[in-house]
Amino acid sequence: MNTSRRAIHLLSALCVAWLAAGTALTGAALAEAEKPYVPTVGQEGKDVVWVPTPYVLVEKMLDVAKVTDQDYVMDLGSGDGRNIIAAAKRGARGLGVEWNADMVELSRRTAAKEGVADKALFVQGDMYEADISKATVMALFLLTENLNKMTPKFLALRPGSRIVVNGFRIDGWDPDETHRAEGDCGHWCTAYLWIVPAKVAGTWRFAEGELILTQNFQKLTGALQSNGASTPITEGRLRGDQISFTAGGTHYTGRVTGDAMQGEAKGNVTGAWSASKK
């Protein structure tokens, strides 16, 4: 009987110890689970690794893009949300698209903490599938290969929309502006700005004849054909919907609105001009 009682007491003690150990492990696991998510610089993502844009460059990028409360800013691969949150602090509405669900939740918590959760929204998704059609500004930190893949979608944005990028360029499309941030930006101090150009390639009816334009992003070449003569155009350029070119000693500036454009001419020919797409 005494032996049995000792065995029972031993078994009870072992059970208590096992339960205590289990409780401790469960508590440790819960404590670990409750720790806030902290991303690691260089961690793998779906299409790129995560490296945050320095805050001084974030502000420089938004300055370069002239972000105001009238803008709708988007960031693809938005990481911890800093681009969109900074834009929201300027009064803009914004949307970040990020594949990593933990990053999305972190961005939402940060936006709430900073008091801009009503303007800075974040969704989990594939950046290549995102609908960017409403964006007036794209604020990005992506590789050239990512930017190249999305260039057709960029060019489909409304003329005058701005694309501002940290560090990397788009192949074949020269930036309209290049700027550098001052301060603690390490290797990431350069911001490139592209302004989405209007689509003007083709033949236009012109008072003096026909204006034939070939377009390579914001750069224009072509000729003004009148009375059987062809005068090449030079200095042809678009900045959003603003067009300028020189032909036969006359400098033309104007605005493109769909299949029409109009403006002022100075030089051998002066006064108002207009053209319509054939």
Asked if 180 and 228 sit in the same domain, the reply is: no
Q: Is residue 214 part of a domain?
A: yes
Question: Which pLDDT score, from 0 to 100, does residue 208 have?
Answer: 75
CATH code where residue 149 lies: 3.40.50.150
Question: Which pLDDT score, from 0 to 100, does residue 9 have?
Answer: 56
* Reported confidence tier of residue 26, pLDDT bands at 50, 70, 90: low
In the predicted structure, residue 87 carries a pLDDT above the cut 70: yes
Question: Which pLDDT score, from 0 to 100, does residue 51 have?
Answer: 86
* Reported confidence tier of residue 45, pLDDT bands at 50, 70, 90: confident
Asked if 210 and 186 sit in the same domain, the reply is: no
CATH code where residue 268 lies: 2.40.128.30
Asked if 172 and 206 sit in the same domain, the reply is: no
The strand pairing partners of 124, in sequence order, are: 98
Asked if 59 and 178 sit in the same domain, the reply is: yes
In the predicted structure, residue 104 carries a pLDDT above the cut 50: yes
Question: Which pLDDT score, from 0 to 100, does residue 4 have?
Answer: 55
State mean pLDDT over 30-42: 69
Q: What total of structural domains would you count in the chain?
A: 2
In the predicted structure, residue 21 carries a pLDDT above the cut 90: no
Asked if 78 and 181 sit in the same domain, the reply is: yes
Asked if 189 and 258 sit in the same domain, the reply is: no
Q: How far apart are CA 87 and CA 189, in angstroms?
A: 18
Q: Is residue 6 part of a domain?
A: no
- Would strands 162-166 and 137-140 be described as parallel, antiparallel, or unpaired? parallel
Mean pLDDT of the chain: 90
In the predicted structure, residue 77 carries a pLDDT above the cut 60: yes
Asked if 191 and 81 sit in the same domain, the reply is: yes
Asked if 240 and 183 sit in the same domain, the reply is: no
Asked if 186 and 223 sit in the same domain, the reply is: no
Q: Which of 171, 195, 219 is the last residue of a domain?
A: 195
Which structural domain, as residue segments, surrounds residue 68? 55-195
Asked if 214 and 163 sit in the same domain, the reply is: no
Q: How far apart are CA 19 and CA 158, in angstroms?
A: 65
* Higher per-residue pLDDT: 10 or 74: 74
Q: Which two tokens stand for residue 135?
A: 């964006």
* Higher per-residue pLDDT: 163 or 185: 163
Q: Which two tokens stand for residue 84?
A: 């969109």
